[in-house]
Structure 1
């Protein structure tokens, strides 16, 4: 609703009586439970009053201000008016933000209020890609609902709800009104229509407003108060699973488990796989559903990737101390040796999901501490900045009983085609700080073979421009074609005429006099070759890489206009330069304080997709700065400004 900046009249302090009355109205309307201060050891009236006072202060701080506002909404630009309530929560350094918005009879919390007051409204979930569309003003459709049924009981028609992504399930990112009775849904697949009409989101004009003119505050990485509500659906599933009889006879409808049966690992369950006993890699990857994973599934995948990595070293380095692992292991070594190679990244969507910041731990440091609590490793803080693994319990049952699963192979159909690197490998690599080297080479066409045979050069080899000129010089000298009167002129023989000269006016003129300048002949030789290129990462060698046909592609940055006067910045062609689109989008979201999204570029192959990052606003300079951090030279970037119809370099 608040794509357009609202017109807010001057703020005025909220009287204490009005603040209490407004807070009490919010508590009653949303059915918020008043906490009881039990420090006194008894739930008396004083304890209840203290809890109510604390709740009022949390919902509407004592420094609250209010003001009337007007704006327009909808395709018909209908005028909307109401009241905004402004204040600052504890820990925000007194920064005033819009906390509540009243339109008609409805009072809507903003994301700032939800980030400080967990579970005051029902929380619904949808994939991150859908949340990013909501942040553009779209409504939530019924098929986009996830982690249910069952859905929260209070998510009835007309109820105000919050929306979070599956990747960050504890962070409400949008607020809206249920257009249907979500709580009564028995399924969402196949059901059409709107589920939630979006009112406000992180990134809109309410979010960005402040008394000091500062941009909106980025969402936190994790909020503990929302996670209990998010597990309602999971708990119901677990209860239903426990009710199944897996130990009875087959005649009684149960499942007889073989004595040699070993339960599938958590990562396999998360990926929907059956271990190593699966079809060929191509068929196998095609059978895996291309979907984004929940936080729990991502957690399981990272833990099991670590277990897989340890088990791999045990199986392949039996005769070496610590099975070939040089302890202590730094965080980067853990990631590169024991986690990255063993992540089950079979499809683009799963690849985008499997990032450490999308786990519940949010960082590798906390992940290693979790493994320490599980007694799988022994870790220690080093220099206060990172955690190192001092020892690994190779005899732990979680390691010894681990069942390996199929890993992505280089021949996977999701291969990015970037020097043999798959999209799975690409996404898990850290592009920030990488060094890139672009090598342009030329391959002679078949008609040039006679010129290369004379100096005994490979007619199918790859050469630089300088090397081609040297080969041409060797051929000219071997055939004694230098003019005795002018050494800059080369006598045209039948091989040069048929291989290098065409039907242009300049070539016809040269043929008529029987000679051509050395520089012009070199230009003809270069033009008669096919371009190839290498894009080498860090210390990679040309000898170990496979050349790509064609001139080096450029990263495309496009500025476009949407919804009238709204500018967006699109970036594509990142994969060629070893840059995973999703981490770049996440960084740009913070740098530009606006929403970003990652989608398949229109026209690219579904099996080998090229991804496109979109950023709200004209963000060319911020994008180029982020690319330079990833080793990209400005000359490798092409900027097209479609808002003006002009191309910029």
Structure 2
């Protein structure tokens, strides 16, 4: 989870005494042995200097990091108990059930792999600890007592047979020594550890055991399964609700997708968007639709949530949306038509084999909706930085507005250098990811200060004013994104409850509310600007009449004069 830097990290703030006690009690509930230890010692687990900072990981999972004395001690995501970092586990090495492996396998975990079943070895007791699916476990080298990683079980330990030929994942790694979470601290090494690649820690193993486990470095590398076929749901690697199928990226845990995998994931996103966003019931009101609108409003939001932001048309074999959908048209799923130089989707074959047996999965759109909900509830200031879904919550009765940006000018050059489609549209979260990917590819992080980014020639053209060319040489990640967004062409996606998203050019306009005193003490409230959000004025008047227990009127059409200057000759009124 922390194999890459987090995409967003807020400033740390001191926890109030009440919040610190609440977090400590939550931790005690999750780890009763710690409560017993500190109760007997008459001390507290959480130091008075404990601080918290909100973050969003590179796989778009929001959470909170808790630090003290310069070291991250705990982290927490949505619906998880407090999870200890290696700094905390080195102080309490037995707080979690421990699974054991070989040194070379741990090196693979540090490179971003999950722990595979062939990489497991029995611990000192000669068995695996009794843990259930989804339980937190620590991971260490056989013969070494201090944990080096923490993760969640993919399957119960009772179903895992060591050295039986079983394959697949045993543990999904959340945090490991030497990752970016560890690097936020003082970067101290594990206690009494000489070399992870050493075999000095192996004890009580006979020749047969050593022979059978002599090549863990290769068995620890995650399998690279082929992406599932369109009509074949992907097997989950994490516990998922029974009503929701696991997305294909739950199998392909690595984010380094091949071109073939990108192609397949784009097809999966198309099928998902057609069946569960556009839907046969809404087809009549949506079609015809331009291929660019279909891509932006239906395909991109329907990408699988894990790793979905890595999937875009530029990385596919088609390179362009038009070529992609023309290839789909040849299969008989869609019917396209050229109109005034623009390709439009005219009809959809809902009985096509590719749409049969497709199950819903967790999408990028749902992920962003969760981020919006959690951030707006916990931190109103962060709400504007983490844009939510434009339609996921529309069914709750609220109009959703999502800001979208299209690269133009120097920003388009930057996107092209980052190997992104400069003709596509991006949410602010996706723009940030493009910037982070470009920073990593070009190795622009300041080695002396990891929070600062060196401004190269492309970034200079894209975000700096001419007067800053000779004076500004380094900026923070958030500063770069905040400067880049105004350089891009703004659009916004408006979603009304029960209706399909509407893409509009420009930034969303504000609704003006004006209160006036009329005829003595009578108060009149005037609303203007609702039309830009697709609201029907007649319906709005009726609703306001009910909600406010008052009268609501609109200006009759006969008093509205439209001066059409686009007509030839004199204007039409």
Larger gyration radius, structure 1 or structure 2: 1
- TM-score, normalized by the shorter chain, greater than 0.5: no
TM-score scaled by length of structure 1: 0.30
